[in-house]
Amino acid sequence: MMIYYILLGAIALVSWLVSSKLKSKFKHYSKVHLRNGMSGAEIAEKMLADHGIRDVKVVSTSGMLTDHYNPVNKTVNLSESVYNQRNAASAAVAAHECGHAVQHAHAYEWLTLRSKLVPVVSVTSGMSTWIVFGGIILGAAAGAGLGFWVAVTGLILMGLATLFSFITLPVEYDASNRALAWLKQKNMVTQEEFKGSEDALNWAARTYLVAAIGSLATLVYWGLQVLGGRD
Residue 54 has what pLDDT?
A: 96
Q: Is the pLDDT of residue 190 over 80?
A: yes
Residue 117 has what pLDDT?
A: 93
- Compute the average pLDDT of residues 163-183: 97
- Compute the average pLDDT of residues 3-27: 85
Q: Is the pLDDT of residue 212 over 70?
A: yes
pLDDT tens digit string along 65-118? 799 999 999 999 999 999 999 999 999 999 999 999 999 999 999 999 999 999
Residue 57 has what pLDDT?
A: 97
pLDDT tens digit string along 131-161? 998 998 887 666 567 888 999 999 999 999 9
Number of domains in the chain: 1
Q: How many residues are recorded in the chain?
A: 231
**What's the CA gap between 194 and 186, in Å, rounded?**
12
Q: Is the pLDDT of residue 1 over 70?
A: no
Q: What angle do CA 196, 112, 207 make, to 5 degrees?
A: 35
> What sign for the dihedral angle of Cα 70, 73, 75, 79?
negative
pTM: 0.87
154 exposure class (CB count in 10 Å sphere: 0-12, 13-18, 19+)? buried
DSSP percent split of the chain into helix, strand, coil, nearest 5: 75, 5, 20
Nearest to 29, CA basis, from 213, 195, 226: 195
Domain that holds residue 73: 2-227
